[in-house]
């Protein structure tokens, strides 16, 4: 790099991102500062900027830092996200209408999932997801389990070091051992199922969107009231959702 255009703040911020990328686990600010050779004060100021721009995620309870969503959006998931925003919506809208269920698409952001889009298909009286925010805990929903399984199943302990698995309902998985078992099942079956684990009265399925390289940075999540979540409905929904996920990955909108 030409020293003429060197910028110490940019260099230091990139050093922090590279350090978090190498370690890929929640890090204390003191460890980050030591790792990149900066004072804690300077590291804190740079981290605050990176957190504000979502290149770094700060857990408010543990005060530890991991890479944030923007890193993956611009990097590995950038092309997939562009396809999603430009092409996937009609496919997802048709899926929502066909199944009379709410359909979401999302990407993993550390131990959470960022919901990128939502298509409402459930009848207004049956809608159970009004409480779902832009982010959901990955361990408590089908879409999160799919993304964890395909991205970090072999390194799950590192993702949740010094973290707890918050309980949302009586069915929420709250142990790493049980979560690891669920992720193994996801990899064996190619999909995830949830039964009132995030919101009482809400059940759903999720499938990965697997790109040409075999990576799954995005997933489709179909949610309905538990009363609708019968074996027959689930079988139909799973088959239809897998077709849509494959079409999003390959972009065959005319075949939807």
Tens-place pLDDT, residues 146-173: 999 999 988 898 889 888 899 999 999 9
Distance CA 96, CA 177 (A): 33
* Res 97: pLDDT: 94
For residue 2, what pLDDT is reported?
44
Q: Please count the residues of the chain.
A: 256
* Least trusted range by pLDDT, from 123-127, 207-211, 230-234: 123-127
Mean pLDDT, rounded, for 127-154: 83
Question: By 3-state DSSP, what share of the chain in percent is helix, strand and coil, each rounded to 5?
Answer: 50, 20, 30
Mean pLDDT of 112-131: 71
pTM above 0.85, yes or no: no
How high is the pLDDT of residue 75? 56
Q: What is the mean pLDDT of the chain?
A: 84
Question: Which of the two residues, 83 and 29, has the higher pLDDT score?
Answer: 29
Q: pLDDT tens, 63-104?
A: 889 877 666 656 555 555 555 555 788 999 999 999 999 999
* 161 three-class SS: coil
Residue pair 104/96 in contact by the 8 Å Cβ criterion? no
Contact between 180 and 140 (Cβ < 8 Å): no
Taking the C-alpha atoms of residue 61 and residue 40, their distance in angstroms, rounded to an integer, is 19
Q: How far apart are CA 117 and CA 143, in angstroms?
A: 13
Task: Answer for the pair 92, 213: CB distance below 8 angstroms, yes or no.
Answer: no
Residues 6+ apart with CB under 8 A from 111: 137, 138, 139, 159, 160, 163
Dmax (CA) of the chain = 66
Which whole-number Å values give the CA distances from 133 to 49, 85, 104, 112, 129, in the listed order? 23, 19, 12, 11, 9
């Amino acid at each position: 790099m030409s020293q003429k255009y060197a910028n110490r703040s940019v260099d230091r911020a990139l050093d922090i991102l590279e350090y978090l990328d190498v370690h890929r686990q929640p890090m204390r600010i003191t460890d980050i500062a030591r790792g990149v050779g900066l004072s804690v004060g300077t590291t804190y100021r740079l981290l605050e900027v990176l957190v504000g721009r979502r290149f770094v995620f700060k857990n408010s309870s543990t005060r530890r830092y991991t890479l944030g969503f923007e890193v993956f959006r611009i990097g590995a998931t950038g092309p997939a996200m562009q396809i999603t925003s430009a092409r996937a919506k009609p496919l997802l809208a048709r899926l929502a209408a066909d199944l009379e269920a709410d359909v979401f698409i999302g990407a993993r952001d550390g131990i959470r999932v960022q919901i990128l889009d939502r298509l409402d298909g459930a009848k207004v009286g049956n809608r159970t997801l009004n409480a779902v925010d832009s982010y959901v805990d990955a361990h408590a929903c089908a879409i999160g389990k799919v993304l964890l399984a395909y991205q970090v199943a072999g390194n799950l302990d590192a993702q949740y070091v010094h973290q707890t698995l918050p309980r949302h309902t009586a069915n929420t998985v709250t142990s790493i051992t049980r979560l690891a078992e669920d992720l193994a099942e996801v990899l064996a079956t190619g999909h995830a199922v949830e039964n009132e684990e995030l919101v009482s009265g809400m059940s759903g399925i999720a499938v990965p969107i697997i790109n040409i390289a075999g990576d799954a940075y995005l997933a489709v999540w179909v949610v309905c009231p538990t009363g609708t979540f019968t074996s027959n409905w689930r079988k139909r929904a799973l088959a239809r959702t897998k077709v849509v996920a494959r079409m999003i990955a390959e972009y065959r909108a005319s075949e939807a």
